[in-house]
């Protein structure tokens, strides 16, 4: 399974990359919104982890672009952002994000569990290793 992480914070993107690779996923990183679009089209990820505050092209614009593309719109997008508040969360979800995590409020393990749950839902034959809380 392939995951694209669109995140400009080097430490977080490296931690996520290492965690997912250790779980057996194929991972690619885009450091800004402009870099994300061609990587999405070429890499064809099974899920995208998307920050909203990005250089060059913001995450909401990337999300809009993904969800308006007939070939890409079915890729699940999970927003990871430091932006919190009902309006921004509602906006991201209404644009098509499947979930929204405020980085400071959710541990990496919870994000990994959410991704694994998405893969389990799309591939029922695969056993989930996510731990129940």
Summarize pLDDT for 81-97 with one digit per residue, the tens: 988 889 999 999 999 99
The answer to whether the CB of 103 falls within 8 A of the CB of 53 is no
Q: Where are the domains of the chain?
A: 2-122
pTM: 0.87
Q: At what angle do helices 86-95 and 59-67 cross, to 10 degrees?
A: 30
Which CATH number is correct for 2-122, 3.40.50.720, 3.40.50.2300, 3.40.1350.10, 3.40.50.300? 3.40.50.2300
- What is the distance of C-alpha 67 from the center of its chain? 13
Determine the 3-state secondary structure of 78 from DSSP. strand
Q: What is the pLDDT of residues 19-78, one digit of tens each?
A: 999 989 999 999 999 999 999 999 999 999 999 999 999 999 999 999 999 999 999 999
Rounded Cα–Cα distance for residues 133 and 122 (Å)? 21
């Amino acid at each position: 399974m392939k995951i694209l992480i669109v995140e400009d914070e080097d430490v977080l993107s490296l931690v996520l990359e290492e965690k997912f690779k250790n779980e057996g996923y194929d991972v690619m990183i885009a450091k800004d919104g402009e870099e994300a679009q061609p990587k999405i089209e070429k890499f064809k990820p099974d899920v995208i982890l998307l920050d909203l505050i990005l250089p060059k092209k913001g995450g909401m614009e990337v999300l809009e672009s993904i969800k308006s593309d007939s070939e890409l719109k079915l890729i699940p997008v999970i927003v990871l952002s430091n932006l919190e508040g009902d309006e921004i969360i509602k906006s991201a979800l209404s644009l098509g994000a499947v979930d929204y995590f405020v980085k400071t409020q959710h541990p990496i393990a919870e994000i990994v569990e959410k991704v694994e749950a998405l893969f389990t839902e799309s591939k029922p034959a695969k056993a989930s290793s996510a731990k129940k809380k």
